């Protein structure tokens, strides 16, 4: 049995770069302690990186009795990274400087016209505009990270057979190659849930969280897991498999190939639409009857309108879905034991009480001790998490 060779150890400059990327502003003393470098070696490396415009001085820290320490940070203008989210309902793209400050952003709906070629053209136009408005030299765009719905072949840069895209043409799309040819910059593909978790983990860097779970509830359910500060990968890239978790034996089935009684049949946009149509056909009383023009015409936008009108029928649907989501979360937490659980997606953002309901149900069913109590959160980055995490990948992969 053979094993893959271990990846090469990062260079001392790369270790300094990564530390500053994670910590922001750092003193020489902190770098010496964290990276186990001698004062002479570290001074030489810092001077070289300043001369290369990778780092810059950022003033002085507080004195502990002697000279005030010099502080360092990454030069925000050394390079820029773009992050692209490709999702079923909405997609977005953003440009970040070296200190992960967002400089430009665009977001659009994924309708029936948004083919791969249309999306690539929109990204190209966005980057050209961002360069002009911020005076960015083309060569300073270091790369584009892509966070996309699965299933993917990340190594080949291919979006394989995603479900529920409104536009045709999204099967077996070599998205990395197509974007690299059009944009002329390196691109990397990761599933969107993993990218979001990378972003949210960076946002919590001061808390030193090592074990995390990310769950996104939209058209389908997507999840990502982090253990020991690293994303956990399986034998295949099926980020939506959480939706196939069976939570009710002999329960309903959402899709022809899905499991009966699976979580996606209770807690997803599709489930909400299907349940609303069925109940309306059985005589359910709701403003949806007037808004949608009939059960068969109903979609999620109609549910949001009714929800904004405080329609009790729709509120009950969302509350029930959130409760089932809590059951699924409890199952995951009991297996994975994360320190923090980040929840996002349309169900959580549309219905204000969904987060409280889901987490309360989950907390009641989580087996814990006095030493272990998971923390639930909506996250820091929220809707920006995927594009942020995708751009962060560019800097993580950067050779310094």
Question: Taking Cα atoms as reference points, which of 7, 39, 6, 36 lies closest to residue 19?
Answer: 36
Domain ranges, residue 365: 208-379
Query: Looking at the predicted structure, is the pLDDT value of residue 274 above 50?
Result: yes
Q: Number of helices (H) and strands (E), helices first, in the chain?
A: 13, 15
Range 163-179 average pLDDT: 93
Measured between alpha carbons, how far is 312 from 315 in angstroms, rounded to an integer? 5
pLDDT at position 379, please?
93
List Cβ neighbours of 102 (8 Å cut-off, separation of 6 or more). 94, 95, 96, 384, 388
**390/264 same-domain check:** no
pLDDT at position 308, please?
94
Residue 132, in any domain of the structure: yes
pLDDT at position 3, please?
40
User: For residue 2, what pLDDT band results from cuts at 50, 70 and 90?
Assistant: very low
Per DSSP, the three-state class of 102 is strand
Instruction: Please tell me the least confidently modeled range out of 3-17, 113-127, 384-398.
Output: 3-17
Tokens for 321, please give them: 């879905």
Residue with tokens 């009714």: 306
Cβ(264)–Cβ(239) below 8 Å: no
**276/369 same-domain check:** yes
How far, in Å, are 148, 210, 214 from residue 228 at the CA level?
Answer: 24, 5, 15
Q: pLDDT above 90 covers what percent of the chain? A: 75
Q: What is the pLDDT of residues 81-111, one digit of tens each?
A: 999 999 988 999 999 999 999 999 999 999 9
Residue 323, in any domain of the structure: yes
**286/138 same-domain check:** no
Final residue in a domain of this structure, among 74, 90, 114? 74
User: For residue 8, what pLDDT band results from cuts at 50, 70 and 90?
Assistant: low
Query: Looking at the predicted structure, is the pLDDT value of residue 4 above 50?
Result: no
Measured between alpha carbons, how far is 130 from 140 in angstroms, rounded to an integer? 12
Measured between alpha carbons, how far is 27 from 68 in angstroms, rounded to an integer? 10
Range 271-299 average pLDDT: 92
User: For residue 64, what pLDDT band results from cuts at 50, 70 and 90?
Assistant: low
**For strand 230-231 and strand 340-344, is the pairing parallel, antiparallel, or unpaired?**
unpaired
Burial of residue 308 (number of CB atoms within 10 Å: 0-12, 13-18, 19+): exposed
Residue with tokens 């990378």: 198
Phi and psi angles of residue 398, each rounded to the nearest 5 degrees, phi first: -70, 135
Q: What is the mean pLDDT of the chain?
A: 91
Measured between alpha carbons, how far is 41 from 299 in angstroms, rounded to an integer? 62
pLDDT at position 239, please?
60
Query: Looking at the predicted structure, is the pLDDT value of residue 43 above 90?
Result: yes
User: For residue 162, what pLDDT band results from cuts at 50, 70 and 90?
Assistant: confident
Q: What is the CA radius of gyration of the chain?
A: 23
**195/233 same-domain check:** no
Give the Cα-Cα-Cα angle 219, 224, 230 (nearest 5 degrees): 160
Range 270-279 average pLDDT: 94
Measured between alpha carbons, how far is 172 from 15 in angstroms, rounded to an integer? 36
Measured between alpha carbons, how far is 93 from 142 in angstroms, rounded to an integer? 15
Domain total in the chain = 3
**66/182 same-domain check:** no
Q: What is the pLDDT of residues 143-159, one digit of tens each?
A: 999 999 988 998 899 99
Query: Looking at the predicted structure, is the pLDDT value of residue 267 above 70?
Result: yes
Query: Looking at the predicted structure, is the pLDDT value of residue 7 above 80?
Result: no
The total of other beta-carbon atoms located within 10 Å of residue 277's CB is 19
**235/352 same-domain check:** yes
Query: Looking at the predicted structure, is the pLDDT value of residue 5 above 50?
Result: no
Query: Looking at the predicted structure, is the pLDDT value of residue 6 above 60?
Result: no
Query: Looking at the predicted structure, is the pLDDT value of residue 389 above 90?
Result: yes
Residue 145, in any domain of the structure: yes
CATH number at residue 140: 3.30.420.40
Query: Looking at the predicted structure, is the pLDDT value of residue 400 above 90?
Result: no
**225/352 same-domain check:** yes
Range 380-399 average pLDDT: 95
């Amino acid at each position: 049995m053979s094993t893959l060779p271990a990846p090469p150890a990062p260079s001392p400059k790369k270790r300094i770069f990564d530390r500053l990327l994670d910590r922001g502003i750092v003193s020489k003393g902190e770098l010496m302690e964290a990276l186990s470098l001698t004062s002479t070696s570290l001074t030489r490396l810092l001077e070289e990186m300043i001369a290369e415009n990778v780092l810059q001085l950022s003033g002085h820290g507080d004195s502990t009795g002697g000279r005030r320490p010099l502080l360092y940070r990454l030069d925000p203008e050394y390079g820029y990274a773009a992050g692209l989210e490709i999702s079923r309902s909405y997609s977005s793209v953003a440009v970040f400087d070296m200190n992960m400050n967002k400089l430009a952003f665009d977001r659009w709906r994924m309708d029936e016209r948004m083919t791969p070629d249309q999306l690539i053209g929109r990204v190209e136009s966005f980057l050209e505009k961002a360069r002009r408005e911020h005076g960015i030299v083309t060569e300073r765009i270091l790369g584009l990270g892509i966070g996309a719905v699965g299933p993917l072949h990340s190594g080949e840069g291919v979006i394989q057979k995603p479900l529920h895209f409104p536009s045709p043409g999204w099967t077996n799309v070599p998205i990395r190659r197509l974007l690299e040819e059009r944009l002329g910059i390196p691109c990397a593909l990761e599933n969107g849930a993993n990218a979001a978790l990378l972003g949210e983990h960076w946002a919590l860097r001061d808390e030193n969280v090592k074990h995390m779970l990310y769950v996104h509830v939209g058209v389908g359910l997507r999840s990502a897991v982090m253990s020991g500060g690293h994303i956990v990968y399986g034998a295949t890239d099926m980020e939506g498999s959480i939706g196939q978790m069976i939570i009710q034996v002999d329960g309903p089935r959402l899709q022809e190939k899905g499991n009966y009684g699976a979580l996606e049949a209770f807690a997803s946009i599709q489930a909400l639409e299907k349940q609303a149509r069925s109940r309306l056909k059985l005589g359910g009383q709701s403003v949806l009857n007037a808004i949608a023009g009939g059960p068969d015409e109903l979609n999620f936008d109609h549910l949001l309108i009714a929800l904004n009108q405080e329609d009790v029928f729709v509120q009950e649907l969302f509350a029930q879905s959130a409760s089932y989501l809590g059951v699924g979360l409890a199952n995951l937490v009991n297996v994975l034991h994360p320190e923090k659980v980040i929840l996002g997606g349309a169900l959580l953002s549309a219905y204000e009480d969904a987060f409280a309901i889901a987490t309360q149900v989950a907390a009641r069913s989580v087996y814990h001790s006095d030493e272990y109590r998971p923390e639930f959160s909506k996250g820091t980055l929220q809707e920006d998490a995927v594009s942020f995490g995708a751009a962060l990948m560019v800097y993580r992969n950067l050779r310094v």
